[in-house]
Amino acid sequence: MRVLLVEDDLMIGETLSDALQDEAYTVDWVKDGQQAIATLKVQPYNLVLLDLGLPKVDGMGVLMAIRTAKLDTPVLILTARDATQDRILGLDAGADDYVVKPFDLGEVLARMRVLIRRSQGKTDNLLQIGTLALDTLNKKVTLDNKPIDITAKEYMLLTTFMLSPDKVLSKTQL
């Protein structure tokens, strides 16, 4: 799973980037809105984690650019802006979810799983092709109901393949 993290705070960005990589996500981290827009033009993502208080182009500008470009990539706003009106504006502008800082990492990961699952037309955390099954919540793989041990990189690749079984993926996408 490829995630674009758009966060200008170094401490939050490093913490999130490390935590996401530990969860087998491929993370590209940019620190301003202009970089985010440029990156989204050349690279597809499964999810965007978007701060609103960004330099150059603020998060709402990035969100508007994403939706104007007709990208259906799920966007999860992570921001310190906690006013109800800010949440309403973000969701009405096209964000798929909105979480206020400080946040619980477990909750953010759960919301990410939900958004990615919905974007793939799934209702549960189980990906299955034939007798091969991958539980994305518990990160377990089974073949013919027997557990298979795989590395983090193998898990990441298998998840990508199973989410796009009918597509040919480029090296960049992988």
What pLDDT, in 10s, does the model give residues 107-140? Answer: 999 999 999 888 877 777 788 888 999 888 788 8
Q: What is the pLDDT of residue 162?
A: 82
What is the per-residue pLDDT across 25-41, written as a single tens digit (0 to 9) for each?
999 999 999 999 999 99
Q: Which two tokens stand for residue 148?
A: 């298979």
Rounded distance between C-alpha atoms, residue 21 and residue 152, angstroms: 9
Tell me phi and psi for residue 62, to 5 degrees: -65, -45
C-beta of residue 36 within 8 angstroms of C-beta of residue 30: yes
What is the band of 19 on the pLDDT scale with cuts at 50, 70, 90?
very high
Inform me whether the pLDDT recorded for 174 exceeds 70: no
State the average pLDDT over residues 49-72. 96
Inform me whether the pLDDT recorded for 150 exceeds 70: yes
C-beta of residue 74 within 8 angstroms of C-beta of residue 115: yes
Rounded distance between C-alpha atoms, residue 9 and residue 13, angstroms: 6
C-beta of residue 3 within 8 angstroms of C-beta of residue 45: yes
What is the per-residue pLDDT across 75-116, written as a single tens digit (0 to 9) for each?
999 999 999 999 999 999 999 999 999 999 999 999 999 998
pTM: 0.79
